[in-house]
Amino acid sequence: MAKIIVVTSGKGGVGKTTSSAAIGTGIALKGHKTVIIDFDVGLRNLDLIMGCERRVVYDFVNVINKEATLSQALIKDKRTKNLFILPASQTRDKDALTIEGVQEVLEELAKEFEYIICDSPAGIEKGAQMALYFADAAIVVTNPEVSSVRDSDRILGILQSKSRRAEEGKEPIEEHLLLTRYHPGRVALGEMLSVSDVEDILAIPLLGVIPESEAVLKASNQGTPVILDTISEAGMAYGDAVDRLMGEERPLRFLEVQKKGFIKRLLGG
């Protein structure tokens, strides 16, 4: 039985699609057949971050409307075995997604895949609610800023009340917190919330802390999931988060201000 994981946030620009790409890639690297679905109909960014935008012929909405089969719309990742992408449409609006249509696609994918990652649009409009409705687990992505955390708290309320699990009185959606764009220096100066501040407000298990890193922008521009940059702090932090998601113990890293060594200070680095 496939596990459906929604990657969601209350606010845009927090690194949700970057996180979906990294986490989906990380799960596939562990040998699990994984598909990432872009639910952001009308915008479509997942294929850019995955570097497969030129290979998009059919999309999620085409499949729902029976204009293409799943096998026609799925794009196999060139770098990572076991990984596939189902892109969103750029020419439709979010009303093209229906509960019945999404359910049918997910049920068909579940016959072939172990993990289904749903890259949700930000906020609480229809596309976002459609992405989380069928979820077994949710990764709530937030930045260490008051507005981002407040909006994430609202998303938790939606997860707990408007999912299929909530409607049917089943076990609640498994919740995870992913804190992105964390900068220990700014936290020390009181310009950002600390990890414990965010944990206190949202009160859900912490999956990982992704440090602010130029590697994220570089990877996005190159169309490569940042988790494949195994020498960057962000890449390593996403790797740790995937390990924790899969039940492994990993200590949190990159939470302290890095002290410069003598040579770096001498050279002004």
How many CB atoms neighbour CB 264 within 10 A? 11
Q: Residue 183 has what pLDDT?
A: 95
- pLDDT confidence of 94, banded at 50, 70, 90? low
Q: Which pair of structure tokens corresponds to residue 73? A: 């719309």
Is the pLDDT confidence value at 82 over 60?
A: yes
pLDDT at 264 exceeding the cut of 60: no
At 265, is the pLDDT very low, low, confident or very high (cuts 50, 70, 90)? very low
- Residue from 165, 175, 171, 240 nearest 202 by CA: 175
Give me the residues paired with residue 35 across strands.
84, 116
269 pLDDT more than 70: no
**pLDDT for 42:** 79
Counting residues of the chain whose pLDDT is more than 70, the rounded percentage is 95
The pLDDT value given to residue 50? 96
| Global pTM value | 0.93
pLDDT in tens, 193-229: 999 999 999 999 999 999 999 999 999 999 999 999 9
- Residue 7: partners with Cβ closer than 8 Å, 6 or more residues away: 16, 19, 20, 23, 117, 118, 119, 120, 138, 139, 141
Residues of the chain with pLDDT > 90: what percent? 83
Tell whether the torsion through CA atoms of 40, 100, 142 and 37 is positive or negative.
Answer: negative
**DSSP secondary structure string for all residues of the chain:** -PEEEEEE-SSSSSSHHHHHHHHHHHHHHTT--EEEEE--TTT--HHHHTT-GGG-SS-HHHHHTTSS-HHHH-EE-SSSTTEEEEPPPSSS-GGG--HHHHHHHHHHHHTT-SEEEEEPPSSSSHHHHHHHHT-SEEEEEE-SSHHHHHHHHHHHHHHHHHSHHHHTT-SPPEEEEEEEEE-HHHHHTTSS--HHHHHHHH-S-EEEEEEP-HHHHHHHHHT--GGG-TTSHHHHHHHHHHHHHTT------S-SPPPPPHHHHHHT-
| Mean pLDDT, rounded, for 136-163 | 94
| Mean pLDDT of all residues in 11-19 | 93
- 8 Å CB contact between 213 and 182: no
What is the arithmetic mean of pLDDT over 139-145? 96
Give the residue carrying structure tokens 């924790």: 244
Rounded-to-integer distance, Cα 23 and Cα 238, Å: 7
